[in-house]
Amino acid sequence: MLRSLTIRDFVIVDRLELEFGAGFGTLTGETGAGKSILLDALGLALGGRAEAGMVREGRERADVAAEFDLPEGGGLHDWLNEHALAADEGAVILRRTVDAGGRSRGWINGIAVTLAQLRAAGEWLADIHGQHAHHALLRPETQRALLDAHATAQAQAAKVAEHYREWQRIARLRREAEADSASSARERELLGWQLKELDALGFEPLEWDELNAEHSRLAHAVGLMEGADETLAALGEGDVAVCSILRHLDARIAALADIDAGLGDVRELLSAATIQADEALHALRRYRDRLDLDPQRLAEVEQRISTVMDAARKYRVTPEELPELRQQCQARLEQLEATADPARLAAAEIEARRTFEAAAARLSAARQPAARALSAEITEAMQTLAMAGGRFEVALEPCEPSASGLETVEFRVAANPGQSLRSLAKVVSGGELSRIGLAIQVMTSRSSATPTLIFDEVDVGIGGRVAEIVGKHLARLGERRQVLCVTHLPQVAACADWQWRISKAERGGEVLSEVTPLGAAARVEEIARMLGGVNITATTREHAAEMLGQR
């Protein structure tokens, strides 16, 4: 669940540090006090859209951090480990900043992440139902996603989409092979000839540097030999040999150092110089023994360099790029050969379609019982939401194969007794849509594994006894999950386990949002305000206390 939310310089919030409890909690207050701003801040931490207008006037950046309990089960835990984002103490901390220019950055457990990673983690932790969620229910893709979530078949749906794309990819290659067989044959022939020529060249990635080094050595062999001979004579083979002189001087200083210890440093330096000179002499002798004039080898190396240069000029690349060019030719030839046989591609297309259809059939089998169950649950909920006798159905209609499977998903409703079922988008009024939408969100949330559920004024358009029923639905949901709800309805707020009042206050010439946790007496006053408006009477307070006592 959500443990805490820290907000800095976000819209009209200067600094808030909020600690959240378990169960069902409501955020109430006057219109415009900033109730939804808190949920907007949380949505930003969960990977929502960032805008420059989120930064409080006159500040450089907005900063939001949300700390959650790490959900039980391996899903998010494994994901965090896979991305090297795990933290100790069973917590997950999401942080997001937005600067005055609209640029944002995100962190998970103190490690910088991409927005996509922040969203991925957020999907494991919280599910936000916004004020316009009811209208989103009119979209076919939303209805399909809700059904798949209710059936716990999201992974199956993703696999079906993947198999469909693969089937379509192979079908496209087959069509291209049938249409372009002649041009493909010409390109394959050209690539085959180029590969044969590059293979005959046999040029390896490191060969160019080695060729140039050997050519330099062979071309300058005379000068290298003369320089080596001259140095050898000076070091140890001439009349005045440096190594012999150093050995003599080393022995002389060693004898003197035995008399005067002050010569110890000189002795060490001279001894080291003598050793290094001897090592240089032996190394130079070995080098000189390997040196020889080899005009034939020089000619061979020059011919090889010329051949490589000719090939590089022909293919308009540098000599170093010839091995990479060969790999590219090989890869392209393999690609063309893979698509050169329409018959073979047709067989692969049939196999890909079978794979898709098998996965889609399994998805359909998972959707059907979930559709029946969800239909019954929403129908039952409608009876308590001022739509007695109404019916709800998740209709699955066969369709042409697509990335979403073998059927369309459509929510249908009959809001009154005797009416026929029709598409949700065509038959409901605004109030009916609000009630049905809330029932759908509550029912589908029960099957969700997300530990924190957030409802942002989704109860707009309902009231009276229906509002009380909605509050009880949310309270029951809060027995298994953490539920947060922004509401204007006293009936809903009275059903909560805890309640915060959001208000605005002027400080230092600025209007800022404040959050006040409400105790028992303060809750009575807040519920009374929600019931009675400006003038709160004793009767209103009694009514508020009675509503709270009914829980």
For residue range 489-538, list pLDDT tens digits in order.
999 999 999 999 998 888 777 778 888 999 999 999 999 998 876 678 88
Same domain, 322 and 226: yes
Containing structural domain, residue 231: 152-360
Same domain, 211 and 332: yes
Question: For position 314, what pLDDT does the model report?
Answer: 86
Same domain, 165 and 310: yes
Same domain, 160 and 222: yes
Same domain, 193 and 103: no
Going by their DSSP bridges, the two strands 452-456 and 482-486 should be labelled as: parallel
**Tokens representing residue 11 in the block:** 């819209």
Q: Give the single-character DSSP code of 70.
A: P
Question: For position 455, what pLDDT does the model report?
Answer: 84
Structurally, how many domains does the chain consist of? 2
Chosen domain end from 314, 342, 360: 360
Question: For position 430, what pLDDT does the model report?
Answer: 65
Same domain, 355 and 229: yes
Q: Considering the domain boundaries, does residue 441 fall inside one?
A: no
Q: Considering the domain boundaries, does residue 335 fall inside one?
A: yes
- The set of residues, in sequence order, having a beta carbon less than 8 Å from that of 506 and lying 6+ positions away, is 512
Q: Considering the domain boundaries, does residue 50 fall inside one?
A: yes
What is d(CA 321, CA 309) in angstroms, rounded to the nearest whole number? 11
Binned average pLDDT, 10 residues per bin, the chain of 551 residues: 92 89 91 79 90 90 93 79 81 93 92 92 83 71 89 93 95 79 69 85 79 72 66 72 83 84 85 87 77 68 82 86 86 72 85 97 96 92 83 94 95 87 77 74 73 78 80 87 90 93 82 88 91 80 86 51
Same domain, 187 and 336: yes
Same domain, 245 and 300: yes
Same domain, 320 and 172: yes
168-203 pLDDT, tens digit each: 999 988 887 776 665 566 777 788 888 888 888 888
Output helix, strand, coil percentages for the chain, rounded to the nearest 5: 60, 20, 25
Q: Can you spell out the DSSP letters for 157-217?
A: HHHHHHHHHHHHHHHHHHHHHHHSHHHHHHHHHHHHHHHHHHHHHT--TTHHHHHHHHHHH
What is d(CA 33, CA 63) in angstroms, rounded to the nearest whole number? 20
Chosen domain end from 332, 360, 388: 360
Same domain, 192 and 267: yes
| Tokens 């092979």, located at residue | 177
Same domain, 264 and 322: yes
Chosen domain end from 360, 395, 416: 360
Question: For position 282, what pLDDT does the model report?
Answer: 84
Question: For position 439, what pLDDT does the model report?
Answer: 78
Q: Considering the domain boundaries, does residue 377 fall inside one?
A: no
Same domain, 178 and 65: no
- The set of residues, in sequence order, having a beta carbon less than 8 Å from that of 282 and lying 6+ positions away, is none
